[in-house]
Amino acid sequence: MWCLTVTYEKLGRHADAERELTKLRAAFGDNSAYQCATIYAAWGDTAKALELLARAVRLPDAGVVHVKTDALIDLLRSDRRFQAIERDLKFPD
């Protein structure tokens, strides 16, 4: 579902992407917070991506272990809110 969501959006099929995202969230609920954050980041929706990333950290969602290296969230890295989240995770340098 995650892959289809990102792929459909890249193909300009936003309605299909939204439908897959709805399925993903219905199937996994808050357990998909990190994955949904990466989807919104890939879509360019920084605010929603950061909101979900913060939720993933609070839960905690196991996906947050990828924050330091996940290329899908590279667009968020310059945002001070992302930097605060990353600092709070206390990854080694």
pLDDT in tens, the chain (93 residues): 999 999 999 999 999 999 999 999 999 998 999 999 999 999 999 999 999 999 999 998 999 999 999 999 999 999 999 999 999 998 887
Amino acid 93: pLDDT: 75
Instruction: Quote the pTM value.
Output: 0.89
Residue-range definition of the domain harbouring residue 56? 2-89
Instruction: Write the CA distances from 87 to 49, 50, 64, 68, 91, integer angstroms.
Output: 17, 14, 12, 10, 7
Amino acid 92: pLDDT: 83
For the chain, how many structural domains are there in total? 1
